[in-house]
Amino acid sequence: MKRLIFCAVTLFSFLATTSAQFDCVFNTTTGQWVKPGTTDVPCTNTIITSVPFLRITPDARSGAMGDAGIAISPDANAIHYNASKLAFAEKDLSLSATYTPWLRALGLNDVYMAYLSGYKQIDDRQSLGFGLRYFSLGLINYTNDSGQENGTGKPNEFEISAAYARKLSDNFSVSVGGKFIYSNLAAGQRVGVVEINPGTAGAVDFGVTYKKDIELSGNETNLTIGAAVTNLGTKISYTNSANKDFIPTNLGVGAAWEFQFDEYNSFTITTDINKLLVPTPCLGSNDPNTPDCDVDQNGIPDYKEKSVVGGLIGSFGDAPGGFSEEVRELMYSVGMEYWYDKQFAVRAGYYTEAQTKGNRQFFTVGLGLKYNVFGLNFSYLVPTTNQRNPLDNTLRFSLIFDFEAFEGE
């Protein structure tokens, strides 16, 4: 039963427009959408995209710092957050492998995400990065419209990505990347007479990083500021319908300040702010001065028919609740990292988003160990609300291998 419920929730969260978001009323006095029976409680209006596995934090280091990773020191997982950091990488070659159990609290042992990534320096100004993300939904027992068994399957999704990073000066770098996305949720099954097919999409990433050494009270510090647009690409569909869904295009900005106290002790504090660059769902209208969700009356909400570029540009001002709702669409991460002798690390962080936009709020903690070329990172998520998280009380880990430039090259 748990398996069937999980499959249904996952499938419809990818394919359907939520109806719960329409349980809202328009307050003509304040000009705001509010929950029924209230005058000032904002209406829940979560942004839903297809293939949300692309936004899952893939590594245990950032996973221990509240999912912050845009501006922290570059490692083999940088391609997910901001590939331009790779131009500042200190090692010649680095590889990382991460295993993330998913929904382990429900007793599901075959649902997980695996992530393999790395980079290779071309020279002291250029680097290449790569990533392979695989998300397994485990073994599913399918049923037809009548509830009868209709075989089994193993839904899965994966992403293959590559990126190029280059320094334009000693302090500034840029990157560009591309990726292929494949999502097979229920291939070969049918909803009525409509056959479900695997969905595919392509996307690009862009990133910038600025680094500056600053002396503060006699101590060496390093300030890094970064920004990245990720998953900017085509829409995706699981049927032959022209009604396609947006993938999770995201704008992230971040900063990290590293303090080197002495030869053995360093401390970094970092923060990220993220925003999805896709249309905010329309809440309908019971007010004659507010446009309806489906002006052309073709059965598809107008916001879903926007182009990728139109959705990106409009995402900064299309929230039904106006500017205050646009601000609530921001997601915040704060983290810290302490290293002793560059061999032992302690990490902690916090992630939060608005209650009306998903209500994910949690603390994270973690450890890091490093010896010669080998590194091991752990992270653990602690929820702070009643909102369930797929990673509740779950330990995840990453292996990292860092190699210096080969002698004789």
pLDDT in tens, 226-236: 999 999 999 99
pLDDT for position 23: 63
Q: Are 63 and 57 in contact (CB under 8 A)?
A: yes
Q: How far apart are CA 314 and CA 279, in angstroms?
A: 7
Domain ranges of the chain: 2-403
Please tell me the least confidently modeled range out of 7-16, 45-54, 76-85, 382-391: 7-16
Can you read off the two tokens belonging to residue 368?
Answer: 């890091």
* pLDDT tens-place string over residues 389-399: 788 778 889 99
User: What is the reported pTM?
Assistant: 0.87
Structure-block tokens of residue 43: 């209406």
Closest by CA position to 232, among listed 181, 271, 184: 181
Q: What is the mean pLDDT of the chain?
A: 86
More confident residue, 166 or 27: 166
Q: What whole-number percentage of the chain has pLDDT above 70? A: 89
- For 103, other C-beta atoms within 10 Å of its C-beta total 21
Question: Which of 137, 139, 132, 93 minimizes the C-alpha distance to 115?
Answer: 132
CA distance 75 to 192: 48
Task: Supply the pLDDT for residue 60.
Answer: 95
Average pLDDT value for residue range 343-367 = 93
pLDDT for 21 beyond 70: no
Q: At 51, phi and psi to the nearest 5?
A: 35, 55
What CATH homologous superfamily does 2-403 map to? monomeric porin ompg (2.40.160.40)
Give 164 or 152, the one with higher predicted confidence.
164
The alpha-helical segments, DSSP class H, found in 299-388 are 308-314, 323-328
334 pLDDT higher than 70? yes
Residue 220's pLDDT is: 87
DSSP 3-state percent helix, strand, coil across the chain (nearest 5): 15, 45, 40
209-229: average pLDDT:
92
Looking at the predicted structure, is the pLDDT value of residue 187 above 90? no
Query: Rounded CA gap, 215 and 217, in Å?
Result: 7
pLDDT tens column, 77-133: 999 999 999 999 989 999 999 999 888 777 778 889 999 999 999 999 999 999 999
Structure tokens at 65: 């710092």
**CB atoms < 10 A from the CB of 190, how many?**
14
State the DSSP H helix or E strand holding residue 200, giving kind and residue range, or none if neither: strand 199-216
Q: Which of 21, 13, 16, 46 minimizes the C-alpha distance to 357?
A: 46
| CA–CA separation, 7 and 179 (whole Å) | 26
Task: Give the tokens for residue 386.
Answer: 């009643």
Model confidence pLDDT, tens digit, residues 310-329: 999 999 998 888 888 899 99
Q: What's residue 11's pLDDT?
A: 39
- How far is Cα 124 from Cα 16, in angstroms, rounded to an integer? 48
Place of tokens 């009306």: 356
